[in-house]
Structure formats: C-alpha cells, structure tokens
Structure 1
C-alpha cells in the first residue's frame, strides 16, 4: 500500500513514511493511493475491538515495516470500553470518553504514539508537534509520557480551553512539553504548519505531527466507527446513521472513509458550532476559511479545517455528508433539556441537537449513533451552571487533577517557538 499527497506534488510513500512525515512535503495530506477495501471477514461483530481493529486496518499495513506490529499496537490503543448506551427515549450514544483522558482523542493518540515509538530512535527521538483546540493535546501528552523514541510538544491557545483541559494539557512528565500560545487555535495550527515548512527546524527537531493531519490519527477512528456500526448492524439488521461533532474534520472524514471501505454505515451528519466554514460550504458550495470563533464547544473552534483537503479528494459519492450548524444557545438548550436522562458535554450536545433536527421519518427509519466525544466532567464549568448539579470526576480524570502543572508561554511567531524548543525543558 502506497500513500500520496492530496496536492499531488510529492512522491508516493509507504505507510511508515506517511506516519513519520505527518504532512506531505508539498503541504498536502496523505491518503492511500487507491481506495482501501476492508476484508469482509474483518467485519465480525463478535470480535473484541483490538482484534476487530487489527483486521479492519490490515490493508493499510500490508507490506509495511509496521505490519507485524499492528496487533500489538491495537491491543495498546483499544484497551478501554467503547459502549453504545441506549437512552430511555431510544436514542443511542456512542461513548468515546472512557480512555485515560476522557475523550475520543485517546484512541487516535495512543495508536499513533505506539506507531511512532516503533519508528523512532531513542538516540534522536521524534518530536511530535501538536496544535490543540482542547482534547488532542491532553491525549497526546498522556500517550507520549514515558516513551523513549518520541517526545511531544503541545501548542494550545491562551484562554480558549477549559480549566480542566488546561490542567490536562500541562500535567504530563517527560518527554512532554506544553506551550501556551497567545492566540487562537488557528494561530497554533499556523505555528505548527510553519514549523513543518521550515526544513532546518524540522530536521533539527525531527518533527512529526499528532494532529488529524496525520493518517496515523485517522485510522483508529475509522476502526472504532466501523466496530460500533458493525455491532449495531448485527443487532438491528440496519446500517446505523452517525452524528458526529467536528472541528478539524478528522473524526468526520474517518467515518466517511470507513463507510467507503465497506463498513455498514448509513447517512453521516456532521455537527459544527458557530464556526461556519463547513456549513457555508454545504449550503453554497464555496469553501472560505476564516478566523475561528470562540464557543463553549471549544474543541470544535476551527475556522480552517485541515481535513477538508481529504474530504474533497474522496471519490464521487463517498463524500456525501450533511452539515448542521449548532450555536452555543442551542448547545446549552440541549444540555438542559436532556439532563434528566443523559448528560452531554458541549460537543456531544451539538451532535444530539443535530440528531434532533433530522426529519422524524429519518430518525425513525434506522438506528442512529450520536457520538459522545468527551466526558461531561471536562466541561463542568459550562455544564454545572446550566444544570444546577455538580459532576463527579471519573477515576481517570480525578487522578489527573492530582498531578502538578507546568507550561511555557509564547506569542504567535515561529521564531519564539524555535528559540524555546532549542532550550531543553
């Protein structure tokens, strides 16, 4: 299996090279050179998720240096529950928040870091540079902690993450470093892209990426989406629809690609917040990146979603998706209205609201999986004033609170980042 850039100006590479590089040299994003088709035997609803994931992702790894490592990588990445909870009113929540940092990013971060640690050299470790609008950085930091051949540098926007998220970004031991950027997420993402575009900096620091620009982040998301859909299909005989909150479009693209691979997935609805880039594209056909807008669903605060390049590179028909814009007021209203039966985080509430807006006959004709992407405790500062009730931290998140916090601070210029990273932490 070879991987090519969405921009078509870089040579094809192996999977290991695509994971190692993060982005392609021409600035594009890697995709398989030909459409990957899942082995029908891999779509076995009776398998444990690590075994399912290894079978489903096997075609990506065929002939690669990491092929023999795939079962072990999946065992380490998919070692926590992935329940589908049926609510009293019949809705289904796909709970993706049972990992060590309480968010769906745990799957992708643990999978990717396991790959990179096997590809790196302890004598000259890879440096994972990750821009985060909320949950990615915490998951990457957790997954990188204690590794020998890879370290993590996390960029996050000042004042744009929740208090718990900031603590979770800044509490990890070596080889993890957290950097607060005096700007928004798009500034963090521009810094990361500028660093990768700087050949000398990339070489000196052995840079790679853990954002959803990395194909290594997307593959495990394809696997868990396919796993959940396969189980619901086996139970009901119907392909479930998916409702997914999205910011940088990685989660949404992964679902589209899993469906194109043959996973039993029906319609896909992507919920966005007030960052209207994707909503405008869906309504008008025009894609216009813009500065991000701060919302209470801050992990979705992306005005220039990187994975749009991958979305429009999909074959005709495979990119069929619906976009639903959900404002802060609607998110709050959904949290309040559903609190008696289920407590959504703001991002998950955006998905629940998008589901509620579907025509009644569409909701009734098939099961739907609403992606619950983060534990509500991570957004207690938003949710508790709305519901009037306190949220108890699950054990994994309570343990994070006991850790000390440390961070560095910079502006939005690449020179500041380069100077900081030239000095040992």
Structure 2
C-alpha cells in the first residue's frame, strides 16, 4: 500500500518511507491510499480472537508490502504485552483503561509499535524528534530506550507537564535527550515541524517523528477499539468518547470504523482548548494559542490530526458531524466529575478521563446507547490534581521508580536556531 500526503503536492510513498520520513515534504500528513475493509468472517470471529490476532489482521493490509506477516506478528505481540480492560463504571457507561503499559498511558501502544517498526527499517542512524504535552514523550522515550541506531530528542513545555511526567521524560539517559522549551506545547510542535521542513538539516541528519503525525503511531491505536468492542454487548449501539488534544486517538477510532467496525459514533471531548468542538458546532476551524489546564495532554491549540479527520470524510462537514459530536469542559467541571464518580462509584478518573466521561454523559442525555470513555493515563500521573480532589491515590511501582531519579534536561528558548544547533551538534 502507498501513503499520500493530505496536501497532495508530493509523490506517494511506501509504509517504510512514511514511517521514516514522519512528515511529507509539503507539511501535509501521510494517509493510506485506501481504507482496507475487513472481512465478514473477521467480525464474525472477533469474540474468539486475542488482541494480538486482532492487531495482526488490522495492521497487515497497511504494512504488508514492507513487513512480513511473521515479523509483524512479533511486533504486535511485543507491543501489546499488557492488559487493556473495559471496566464498568455505572449503568451503560464503561471505561477503556489504556494505562496498564510501562509508562501508564495510552501512547505506550503506538510508541512501542513505532519503535519496533523503526528498528526493523533502520540501517543507519536516525534521530526521533518529538514534541510532547505530557505522555507522548515518556511513552516514546521508554519505547526507544537503548534501541540501536536511534537517538530520541523530546521537546516539552517548561512548567506545563506534571512532575511525574517530567521525571519520566528527563531521567532515562542513554539515547534519550529532553529539551525543556520556554513556551507552550504548540511552540514545541511548531519547532518540530520546522525541523522536518528544513532541507539543510535533513541533509545532515536523518529525522523522523514519533508524534501521532507518524502513521505508525496512528494505525496501532485503532487496535484497542476492536478489542473494546469484543468486550461489550454486540446488540447495542456503542459510542466512544475520546478525550482529545492532537486527535490522533480519535482519528484511530475513525479509522477502525472506516475498516468496518460497528461503532455508532464518537464524542470529541475537550478541555478549554475547544477548537474541534467549535468546528463541529460552527463549521469553522479556528486554531489559536493553547491555554493551560489540569488535563495538560490536551492543551493543544492547533491539533495536527484534524487534517486526517476531515480527509476521512472528504472534507465534508455534514459527513463528519454525522459521526462525531463535540463537547468541551472547564477545569472546575472536570474536578467536580472526578469527585462525583469517586464518591458515588468508587472509580478514580484522571483529569483526561474525566473530560471523556463528561462528554459521554452529555451525549447520552439525548441518545440511547452503551457509552465507553477512554481513560488515557493512570490517575497517579496527575497527583496534585487527583490528591486535591479525592485524597491520596496509590502510585504504581513502575511510576514511583521515577520519583527519586535525577532530572537531566537542556533548557532552550522557543527558537528554531537553538533547536537546530542542538540537533546538528
């Protein structure tokens, strides 16, 4: 299969080339030339399949020209070596818990898959350049730690990630370098995109991306929608509420639906950075500087994957709004939901999952369905907020191990030349 740029001004490339490039030269996003349709037999036997079997069958049509089925099976098995349970929270409301991986965030799935694909493809030194608003960086760092021929450079906004997230980014060493940028996540993301479009830089070093702009991050995130559907009643309408910042997770769900998975619809649940809900309500896409919230991984003012979302619907606002409804919530509402769900149901929401829960409950006021919200990160990653709202929360051992390590980061200004100097050096 070939992958084209959403801006359509450069030639299509193979999966291997798309993964290594990360971003097309025209600053578009790579998309598959067509969406594979999974067979009726696949869906008829879904309940009998393991998550590894699901991942293999979903991914193979996209990657089969560049990765053998045996190698892909090994990649998927190593990627998905942790549980992804659907947990009942209340009547008709479920949480898809995506935080059981090594860094306690949903991005473990995409980052581990991407790392193994790049390891398969890399026959020369490559630098993975990534911007993070919190969880991407730690998942990428963990996924690539010690991988031969790969250096990882992570840009994160100073003072705008949680303490535990920062510890996960800055304490690994080896082939991982953390850059503490004096700016917002949008600034970090803009610096990364500028680097990819710098021809001089790309002639001196081989760059690739590990953000959700990389197609090898996006494809595996579709796996757990199939896995979740297997765990739910098949005779009911199923809606997924996705707490969203860069919208890679929601786009992966749309990809699963386009491949034939019987999802009724999606809720785009955002915090105060409500660019996509505004678009869904007003048919106007108006990026703006992000504002800081307690759900920091969603503090994105110009979401990268918006172009992929609209591409899946041929730029049709009528088409996209048939499948996606948008809501946004402020920090006060998020905290209220966290406390209410804990007090009444005994379930601990992190600030992002709480936004997803609120979006789902808003949608279900007017729709009869089974609702699933994505719980994207372990609540312990946001100790200040969670402890303030519900009291002390237990920290998993794999997270607590980071707390006593020494932070090592390089402070830089929000300046491309400063970044370029570090990359070249």
1:279 aligned onto 2:298:
no
How far, CA to CA, are the matches of 1:88 and 1:245 in structure 2?
Answer: 19
Any residues of structure 2 matched to 1:211-226 within 5 Å, and which?
211-226=211-226
Distance in structure 2 (CA, Å) of the matches to 1:244 and 1:315: 18
Partner Cα distance (1:252, 1:12) in 2: 24
Contact 2:247–2:306 (Cα < 8 Å) also in 1: yes
User: 1:357-403, CA deviations, whole angstroms, 9 ceiling, x for partnerless residues?
Assistant: 124352xx32211110010000011111122x111111221223343
3-state SS of 2:383 partner: helix
Look up the SS of the partner of 1:393 in the other structure.
coil
Q: 1:298 aligns with which of 261, 275, 296?
A: 296
Aligned length: 416
Checking the alignment, whether the CA contact within 8 Å between 1:66 and 1:115 is kept in structure 2 is no
Distance 1:63 1:21, change over 3 A: same
- Which residue does 1:335 correspond to in 2? 338
Cα pair 2:222 2:256 within 8 Å, conserved: yes
- Quote the residue 1:324 is aligned against: 327
Alignment of 1:102-121 (within 5 A): 102-121=104-123
Indicate the SS of the match to 1:400.
coil
Distance 1:74 1:65, change over 3 A: closer
Does 1:346 pair with 2:357? Answer: no
Residue in 2 aligned with 1:35? 35
Residues 86 and 231 of structure 2 are in contact (CA less than 8 Å); yes or no, is this contact kept in structure 1? no
Unpaired runs of at least 5, structure 1: none
Secondary structure class of the residue paired with 1:87: strand
Distance in 1 between the 2:65 and 2:196 partners? 28
Give the one of 386, 389, 392 matched to 1:390: 392
1:379 to 363, 382, 403: 382
Greater Cα offset, 248-257 or 66-75: 66-75
Q: Offset at 1:91?
A: 1.9
In structure 1, C-alpha distance between the alignment counterparts of 2:424 and 2:13, rounded to whole Å: 30
Tell me, which stretches of 5 or more residues in structure 2 are unaligned?
Answer: none
* TM-score normalised by structure 1 residue count: 0.94
| Structure 2 counterparts to residues 198-277 of structure 1, below 5 A | 198-232=198-232, 235-277=233-275
The correspondence of residues 130-145 of structure 1 with structure 2, limited to 5 A, is 130-145=130-145
Q: CA deviation at 1:142?
A: 0.4
CA distance in 1, matches of 2:170, 2:47: 38
1:65-95 deviation line (CA, Å, top 9, x unaligned): 4554211110111100000111254521100
Contact 1:133–1:301 (Cα < 8 Å) also in 2: yes
Equivalent residue for 2:372? Answer: 369
Name the Cα RMSD after superposition. 1.5
